[in-house]
């Protein structure tokens, strides 16, 4: 399981021209699910993201989590994170989880984050989505489990 995290002042995702999820201050999460990923991976990743101190305190140090600031997550499925670009010019998606498995773990990840007390907005799994965001900093991290 892979995630790209971007600290944002705002982010939204639209499908067919309609906004389906939006947040103000928080974290934009692009979530990639691979074959063999399990609930334990989603548990670890959700806990890590919800507690990761990537927001500045009054001294300007990254000491606050999304929970500490009362922020939100916008979680968007991103199967291309499983893309392998090492051979040739066309990415291979052989390691991406099958759609039904990916959807199950995506929904589970979102549920775990919500149970942690974080407001979570989402895109639509497998939809063609347009994502807009204002990256704050910019601050971007990549997590893998």
80 given a catalytic annotation: yes
78 given a catalytic annotation: yes
User: Residue 96 has what DSSP assignment?
Assistant: B
Report residue 91's pLDDT band, with 50, 70 and 90 as the boundaries.
very high
How far apart are the C-alpha atoms of 46 and 30, rounded to whole Å? 12
Q: What confidence tens digit (pLDDT) does each residue in 45-79 have? A: 999 999 999 999 999 999 999 999 999 999 999 99
Domain edges within the chain? 2-144
Catalytic-labelled residue, pool 40, 55, 58, 80: 80
pLDDT at 103 (0 to 100): 98
79 given a catalytic annotation: yes
Catalytic-labelled residue, pool 79, 119, 130, 141: 79
Q: Which one of 3.40.640.10, 3.50.80.10, 2.60.40.10, 3.30.9.10 gives the CATH number of domain 2-144?
A: 3.50.80.10
pLDDT at 38 (0 to 100): 97
CA atoms within 13 A on the CB side of 24: 3
Catalytic-labelled residue, pool 78, 86, 140, 141: 78
Give the three-state DSSP class for 119.
strand
């Amino acid at each position: 399981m892979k995630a790209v995290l971007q600290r944002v002042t705002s982010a939204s995702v639209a499908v067919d021209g309609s906004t389906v999820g939006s947040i103000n201050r928080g974290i934009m999460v692009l979530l990639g699910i691979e074959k063999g990923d399990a609930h334990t991976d989603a548990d670890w990743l959700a806990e890590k993201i919800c507690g990761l101190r990537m927001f500045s305190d009054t001294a300007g140090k990254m000491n606050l989590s999304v929970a500490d600031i009362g922020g939100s997550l916008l979680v968007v499925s991103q199967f291309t994170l499983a893309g392998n670009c090492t051979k040739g010019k066309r990415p291979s998606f052989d390691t991406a989880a099958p759609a039904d498995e990916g959807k199950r773990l995506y929904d589970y990840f979102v549920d775990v984050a919500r149970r942690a007390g974080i407001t979570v907005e989402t895109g639509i799994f497998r939809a063609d989505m347009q994502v807009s965001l204002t990256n704050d900093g910019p601050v971007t991290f990549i997590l893998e489990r």
